[in-house]
Amino acid sequence: MVVGLNALGTAHRTRHERRLERAVAALVPDHVLLGYRDTDERRFQKARLAVIPRPRIVTFGSSRVMLVSTGMVDAGPGQFYNAGLSGGSIEDHIVLWTVMRDSGKVPELALFAIDSWAFNTSYPEIRWLAWADDVNRFVDARESVPWASGLTQRFVYRWYQTKEMLSYAVLRSSLRDLQRTLAGHERRGRELLQLLDHQIVAESNVNGRRGLRADGSLVYEAAFQSRSAAEIRAEAVESLTKNRGGLGRFQWNSERAHRLRLLWADMRAQGVKIAAYLPPYHPAVWDGLSHDTAVQHAVQQTRHFLTETGQRLGVHVIDLSDPASVPCTETEFLDDLHGRESCVQRVVDRLLGERRMSSRPDAGRATLSP
């Protein structure tokens, strides 16, 4: 009975997911999806990755990476996709990577924007919990046969999926979904379907509104981009006081660090080249963080972990937390964390340029550049 109900619930969810995939396929080049910030981004990205052609380059990260576009990485149409998410975490990257891997869309190069607070247990990152089962399956599969080939890893991952057909936790979820359907309630994600039906416009008709391009990159609204440097600086200083760049009360999250190792190891086993960076802060924020001893200890701990992991797995990592290292000036920030296109372009140029240098036959092992 449990298997039968879970199978019925799974089939029902699968049909709904296919509807979403057909809907997101309507977002084509030179068009923009308006109202994206009000959607379930995770549901959107998962469906989008299932329908796009195999990209050559992919970016993973939070909203701080979402300005990166096809033109910035000098790629051709369909060769780049930005899989960034608002509040994106390591766990989100795991699920989106799994979708790409299992659908035969393994990229040549993956660019990661790793937020400095990613390894702070005290910093709340909970949006990914909707994907907790997917994350646990990935971790279990990688840990059970870490030496295995990519094909074997996928087989083990599927085995863990199959075992869940006997799970009472999955049964509860299946029953809830079936009850919603029988009661005539709309399935989760219905608002996304409605948005995709009515809010896709030509990019030339954006008219200063926020939207998402077909390559996953973000277009900010004109009002947000036009704020004065003084206004942005005041907001940045206030943010620094409130949360210290996400590094206040820092406690090392060893579980998340372990998940990043597993993710990068799986990607490298599939032949993916990886380059990662710590994004720059607004100069006023970084100046404050530089004079905070506890925060600097947290930054050093993060650097050490990324250095060690990069050297072990052949991942090129560069620390650009200090905006002067890019360089990005104060006028090249939209707020305390997000750089303007000019700053982001310079970050991408640094990252790709140094990755090419580190890939030369006479180059040393991957390092965390100062």
Nearest to 88, CA basis, from 48, 131, 52, 53: 131
Q: Hey, what domains does the chain have and what are their CATH numbers?
A: 27-124+204-369 (3.40.50.1110)
Residue 364: what pLDDT?
41
In the chain, alpha helices (H): 2-24, 41-51, 90-102, 132-144, 150-163, 168-182, 190-198, 222-225, 229-243, 254-269, 283-290, 293-313, 341-358
**Residue 369: other Cβ atoms inside 10 A:** 17
Residue ranges for the chain with pLDDT beneath 70: 2-17, 145-190, 355-370
Nearest to 33, CA basis, from 220, 223, 191, 202: 202
For residue 59, list its beta bridge partners.
82, 111
CB 50, CB 74: distance < 8 Å: no
317-369 pLDDT per residue, tens: 999 999 999 999 999 999 999 999 999 999 999 999 876 666 655 444 344 44
Residue 182: what pLDDT?
59
Residue 197: what pLDDT?
77
Side by side, which strands form the sheet with 316-319?
A: 80-82, 57-60, 109-113, 273-278, 316-319, 368-369
CA-angle at 103, arms to 102 and 107, nearest 5°: 90
CB 150, CB 100: distance < 8 Å: no
Dump the DSSP string for 215-261.
Answer: TS-EE--HHHHT--HHHHHHHHHHHHHHHGGGTTT--B-HHHHHHHH
Residue 164: what pLDDT?
56
Contacts of 168 (CB under 8 A, 6+ apart): 2
